[in-house]
Structure 1
Amino acid sequence: MSRKPWRAVVEPYTRPLFFAFSRLTRGMTLGVRGVAIDGEGRVLLVKHTYVMGWWLPGGGVDKGETTQQAVVREMREEAGLIATVPPRLLSLHSNEAYFPGDHVAVFAIDAFTLEDRTSHGEIAEIGWFTPDALPEDAHRSTKARLAEIFGGVSPTESW
Structure 2
Amino acid sequence: MTWRRRIEPFARPLIYAVFRMRRGLTLGVRAVVTDEAGKVLLVEHTYLKGWYLPGGGVERGETAETAVVRELREEAGVRALSRPRLVSAHSNEALHPGDHVLLYRVDAWEPCASDAAGEILAVGWFAPDALPESTTPATRRRIAEALAGQEPDVMW
Which TM class, normalised by the smaller chain length? 0.7 to 0.9
State the partner residue of 1:70. 67
Which range moved further: 84-93 or 145-154? 145-154
Shift of 1:151: 3.3
In the aligned structure 2, how far is the partner of 1:25 from the partner of 1:67? 22
Is 1:102–2:125 an aligned residue pair?
Answer: no
Residue of 126, 145, 149 corresponding to 1:148: 145
- If you compute each CA radius of gyration, which structure gives the higher value, 1 or 2? 2
Name structure 2 gaps, 5 residues minimum: 1-19
State the partner residue of 1:13. none
In the aligned structure 2, how far is the partner of 1:110 from the partner of 1:62? 24
Name structure 1 gaps, 5 residues minimum: 1-22
State the partner residue of 2:86. 89
SS in 2 for 1:77: helix
Shift of 1:26: 7.7
TM-score, structure 2 length as denominator?
Answer: 0.84
> What percent identity do the matched residue pairs reach?
55
Shift of 1:68: 0.1
Extract structure 1 runs of 4+ deviating beyond 3 A.
23-26
Is 1:115–2:112 an aligned residue pair?
Answer: yes
CA RMSD of aligned residues (A): 1.6
Q: Is contact 2:29–2:64 with CA below 8 Å preserved after alignment?
A: yes
TM-score, structure 1 length as denominator?
Answer: 0.82
Shift of 1:27: 2.1
